[in-house]
Structure 1
Amino acid sequence: MEDPKTVVKHEPRKSLIILFLSAMYSIVIGIVVLIGLSSGDTDMAEGAGWILVICGVISLIYYFLARKQTPPAK
Protein backbone atom coordinates (compact mmCIF):
# COMPACT_ATOMS: atom_id res chain seq x y z
CA MET A 1 0.00 0.00 0.00
CA GLU A 2 1.23 3.48 -0.84
CA ASP A 3 2.19 5.95 1.82
CA PRO A 4 -0.74 8.38 2.37
CA LYS A 5 1.64 11.36 2.58
CA THR A 6 3.01 10.58 -0.88
CA VAL A 7 -0.47 10.17 -2.37
CA VAL A 8 -1.68 13.48 -0.91
CA LYS A 9 1.33 15.36 -2.27
CA HIS A 10 0.87 14.15 -5.85
CA GLU A 11 -2.95 14.15 -6.07
CA PRO A 12 -3.48 17.92 -6.57
CA ARG A 13 -0.97 17.96 -9.41
CA LYS A 14 -2.80 15.10 -11.19
CA SER A 15 -6.12 16.88 -10.76
CA LEU A 16 -4.71 20.07 -12.24
CA ILE A 17 -3.31 18.20 -15.23
CA ILE A 18 -6.70 16.58 -15.86
CA LEU A 19 -8.44 19.96 -15.52
CA PHE A 20 -6.02 21.56 -18.00
CA LEU A 21 -6.35 18.73 -20.53
CA SER A 22 -10.14 18.75 -20.34
CA ALA A 23 -10.18 22.53 -20.81
CA MET A 24 -7.99 22.31 -23.90
CA TYR A 25 -10.07 19.42 -25.30
CA SER A 26 -13.27 21.38 -24.77
CA ILE A 27 -11.89 24.49 -26.46
CA VAL A 28 -10.52 22.57 -29.45
CA ILE A 29 -13.71 20.56 -29.99
CA GLY A 30 -15.80 23.72 -29.60
CA ILE A 31 -13.75 25.52 -32.25
CA VAL A 32 -13.99 22.52 -34.58
CA VAL A 33 -17.77 22.50 -34.16
CA LEU A 34 -17.97 26.25 -34.79
CA ILE A 35 -15.77 26.16 -37.89
CA GLY A 36 -16.73 22.79 -39.32
CA LEU A 37 -20.48 23.15 -39.04
CA SER A 38 -20.78 26.84 -39.82
CA SER A 39 -22.18 26.28 -43.31
CA GLY A 40 -25.94 26.21 -43.60
CA ASP A 41 -28.60 26.62 -40.92
CA THR A 42 -26.98 25.03 -37.87
CA ASP A 43 -28.05 27.14 -34.91
CA MET A 44 -28.01 24.19 -32.53
CA ALA A 45 -24.47 23.14 -33.49
CA GLU A 46 -23.26 26.72 -33.24
CA GLY A 47 -24.76 27.02 -29.76
CA ALA A 48 -23.13 23.76 -28.70
CA GLY A 49 -19.78 24.97 -30.04
CA TRP A 50 -19.99 28.20 -28.06
CA ILE A 51 -20.97 26.32 -24.90
CA LEU A 52 -17.93 24.04 -25.29
CA VAL A 53 -15.60 27.00 -25.81
CA ILE A 54 -17.03 28.89 -22.81
CA CYS A 55 -16.76 25.80 -20.57
CA GLY A 56 -13.16 25.35 -21.69
CA VAL A 57 -12.29 28.95 -20.91
CA ILE A 58 -13.92 28.71 -17.47
CA SER A 59 -11.95 25.51 -16.80
CA LEU A 60 -8.72 27.28 -17.78
CA ILE A 61 -9.54 30.12 -15.38
CA TYR A 62 -10.10 27.59 -12.57
CA TYR A 63 -6.84 25.87 -13.53
CA PHE A 64 -4.81 29.08 -13.25
CA LEU A 65 -6.49 30.05 -9.97
CA ALA A 66 -5.87 26.60 -8.46
CA ARG A 67 -2.30 26.57 -9.70
CA LYS A 68 -1.57 29.81 -7.86
CA GLN A 69 -3.00 28.38 -4.62
CA THR A 70 -1.36 24.96 -4.82
CA PRO A 71 2.14 24.88 -3.33
CA PRO A 72 4.73 23.24 -5.60
CA ALA A 73 5.49 19.59 -4.84
CA LYS A 74 8.95 18.86 -3.54
Structure 2
Amino acid sequence: MNLDELYTADEAATETGFKRQAIYNWVARGYLAPVPGAKRGRSRLFRLEDVFAAERTRDHTRRRRSNAC
Protein backbone atom coordinates (compact mmCIF):
# COMPACT_ATOMS: atom_id res chain seq x y z
CA MET A 1 0.00 0.00 0.00
CA ASN A 2 1.46 3.33 -1.11
CA LEU A 3 0.64 6.04 1.43
CA ASP A 4 1.28 8.71 -1.23
CA GLU A 5 -1.96 7.61 -2.92
CA LEU A 6 -4.01 7.94 0.27
CA TYR A 7 -5.59 11.14 1.55
CA THR A 8 -7.03 12.46 4.80
CA ALA A 9 -10.63 13.67 4.65
CA ASP A 10 -9.39 17.28 4.39
CA GLU A 11 -6.99 16.42 1.56
CA ALA A 12 -9.61 14.33 -0.24
CA ALA A 13 -12.09 17.22 0.00
CA THR A 14 -9.54 19.60 -1.52
CA GLU A 15 -8.64 17.17 -4.31
CA THR A 16 -12.21 16.22 -5.23
CA GLY A 17 -14.09 19.45 -4.62
CA PHE A 18 -16.49 17.81 -2.18
CA LYS A 19 -16.99 19.26 1.27
CA ARG A 20 -15.11 17.63 4.13
CA GLN A 21 -18.38 17.20 6.01
CA ALA A 22 -19.83 15.30 3.04
CA ILE A 23 -16.97 12.80 3.29
CA TYR A 24 -17.60 12.35 7.01
CA ASN A 25 -21.32 11.95 6.35
CA TRP A 26 -20.67 9.25 3.72
CA VAL A 27 -18.53 7.36 6.23
CA ALA A 28 -21.24 7.64 8.91
CA ARG A 29 -23.91 6.43 6.46
CA GLY A 30 -21.82 3.52 5.20
CA TYR A 31 -21.18 4.81 1.66
CA LEU A 32 -17.44 5.23 2.26
CA ALA A 33 -14.89 3.44 4.40
CA PRO A 34 -11.33 4.48 5.20
CA VAL A 35 -8.51 2.18 4.15
CA PRO A 36 -8.22 -0.43 6.94
CA GLY A 37 -5.20 0.19 9.15
CA ALA A 38 -4.04 3.26 7.23
CA LYS A 39 -3.58 6.43 9.28
CA ARG A 40 -1.52 9.57 9.12
CA GLY A 41 -1.22 10.70 12.71
CA ARG A 42 -4.75 10.33 14.04
CA SER A 43 -6.41 10.85 10.64
CA ARG A 44 -7.95 7.97 8.75
CA LEU A 45 -6.94 7.74 5.10
CA PHE A 46 -9.04 7.34 1.96
CA ARG A 47 -8.47 6.49 -1.69
CA LEU A 48 -9.77 9.15 -4.07
CA GLU A 49 -11.43 6.51 -6.24
CA ASP A 50 -13.38 5.35 -3.17
CA VAL A 51 -14.50 8.93 -2.47
CA PHE A 52 -15.75 9.33 -6.05
CA ALA A 53 -17.47 5.91 -5.90
CA ALA A 54 -19.23 6.90 -2.67
CA GLU A 55 -20.57 10.04 -4.33
CA ARG A 56 -21.86 8.04 -7.31
CA THR A 57 -23.53 5.32 -5.25
CA ARG A 58 -25.13 7.37 -2.49
CA ASP A 59 -28.88 7.88 -2.53
CA HIS A 60 -29.52 10.87 -4.77
CA THR A 61 -33.18 11.18 -3.88
CA ARG A 62 -34.11 14.16 -1.77
CA ARG A 63 -37.06 14.43 0.50
CA ARG A 64 -39.43 17.03 -0.79
CA ARG A 65 -41.61 19.20 1.34
CA SER A 66 -45.27 18.90 0.73
CA ASN A 67 -46.84 21.98 -0.85
CA ALA A 68 -50.21 21.10 0.67
CA CYS A 69 -51.35 23.41 3.43
TM-score, normalization by structure 1: 0.26
User: Comparing both chains, which one has the higher relative contact order based on Cα–Cα distances under 8 Å and sequence gaps of 6 or more?
Assistant: 1
More strand by share: 2
What TM-score results when the alignment is normalised by the length of structure 2? 0.27
Pick the structure with more helix per residue. 1
